[in-house]
Every structure is written in structure tokens, then in C-alpha cells.
Copies of this chain bind each other. A is one copy, B any other.
């Protein structure tokens, strides 16, 4: 691909200059490959690296003392992995690849270089972290308030939306390396129940999850069923410099604000951290 998923994603929100594109290219010189099942980040790594996925899928999860695991998030091409754990010693999550992965390893030093030299990318990083948080909250809401079938539908609609952003979702679905066991660990259900629920959704003519592929048979119906509101994936930008001094010295920002964002402004979605 001539343009990386990362640049693709950032471009969708911000206007990139040659400076930024150059910085991105530099980063991509250090791209490496990881086999399926590799741990990008693991418990106890204190000075580990962060990663920007170029291709492939990964999961971020937490293991419980009793051996159960909760998948906190799925990571797709263009996503950051382990950034917050780089900035702080506090995170306590692992990241593991679900497919072969190409990723750019970002050392802590580099991250700070990017922060100081390319404020726009720093902003992109902050934006990504915040988006992560919004997804985790949405995940919590789903696990807490939605039925099993709605959770499954909601998760797959979210993944579709995110894949669409990096050009990896087709017109009616997407290729999906996630197993039913993964869905179970992400949604707090058993694999057996996931299987039954998937069948119900399929028989209802809404969606098919089979042979590593998700197909939306009735997209509108599924969105309605799952109560899916993509707003949380597509939130506003961090405060930009023309409004006030940005927290990370991110000056000279030129942020783009697509029209479709505005329809989520001032709507019925409360705010806080």
C-alpha cells in the first residue's frame, strides 16, 4: 500500500504537511513483523516499546488470578498499542497478536521526539488515547447494559466501522480473524453461548459470522438492533492551538472537522471524564 493505515487514519482527521508525512516515513523505517500469538506488550515490561500497527490484528487484555482473561480492546491497522503504558508505569494489560502483524516499534525516546518536533502527531497520539478510553467506556456500557446478542452485534459493528476508517471493510462485511472464544472473552460470555447467539443473529437475517468473515445481511436492521451509535468513535479533536495553548505544546495545528462530526455535537451524549 502506498499510504500507511496510520497516515490514512490521521489524514481523515487532520491535514498533514510534508513535515508530518516525513516523520511518519521515518517511523516506518523501523517496521517489523510479528508472528501470530506474539506478545507485543507483556506483564512486567517496564521500559517496553509502543507500537503502531501497519497490518494485522491484536488484542489488549487483562489476565485474572484465576486464569480468566478479559479482552479490553481489539487493535487494528493504524492503531496505537501500549502508548499509555509507555508514558506511565501504571497500565497492567498485555497485548498479543491475533494474526501475523507488521508494526512500527516506537521507543520511548522517539515518542518524545515526535511530541516535540511534530506537534500535530502528538495531538494524533492524544486523540488516539482518548478514543481508546471512549471505546473502553462503550465496552463497559455494553457488557453492563446490553443483552448477549446486542453485545455481539455492537462489537462487530464497531470493528466494521474502525476497519472502514482504514479501508479494510468491504461493502457488506469484513474479513475477521477473531474466534468465538475471543468474542466470549471480550464480552463476558461463554463460547457456547456466543455460538448460539451468532446463530440467532444469522437466522434473524441480520449478520453472518462464519469462516473468518463477517457479513452484514441487514446492516440497518443490525444497527437498530444493537443500538449502535458510531458517535463515540468519531469524536472531536483535542483542543487546538488557535483556541488556547495546547497541553503538549501542539502549536500550529490545522485540524479538519468533517461535517458528519457536527451532528454529534450538543446531542444527547453527556460529558465528563
Contact = CB atoms under 8 A, between A and B. Distances in A.
Interface of A: 40-46, 48, 50, 60-66, 68, 70, 72, 80-95, 108-109, 112, 115-116, 126-127, 129-134, 136-137, 139-141, 143-145, 186-188, 227, 229, 231-232, 235-239, 244-245, 247-249, 265-273
A65 to B, nearest CB: 6
Contacts of A44: 265-271
Q: Which 7 A-B pairs have the closest CB atoms?
A: A89-B236, A94-B270, A84-B273, A144-B188, A90-B235, A43-B270, A92-B269
A93 B130 CA distance: 13
A228 to B, nearest CB: 10
A231 B245 CA distance: 35
Contact of A145 (B64, B93, B227): B64
Q: Which of A46, A130, A235, A248 has the most CB of B within 10 A?
A: A130
Contacts of A43: 267-271
Contacts of A270: 41-44, 61-63, 92-94
A77 to B, nearest CB: 17
A89 B65 CA distance: 37
Contacts of A87: 126, 130, 238-239, 247
B84 A130 contact: yes
15 contacts: A44-B267, A44-B269, A60-B272, A80-B273, A82-B272, A88-B127, A88-B130, A89-B238, A91-B130, A91-B134, A91-B271, A92-B137, A93-B137, A133-B136, A144-B188
A188 B271 CA distance: 21
A133 B249 contact: no
Contacts of A64: 141, 145, 227
A191 to B, nearest CB: 14
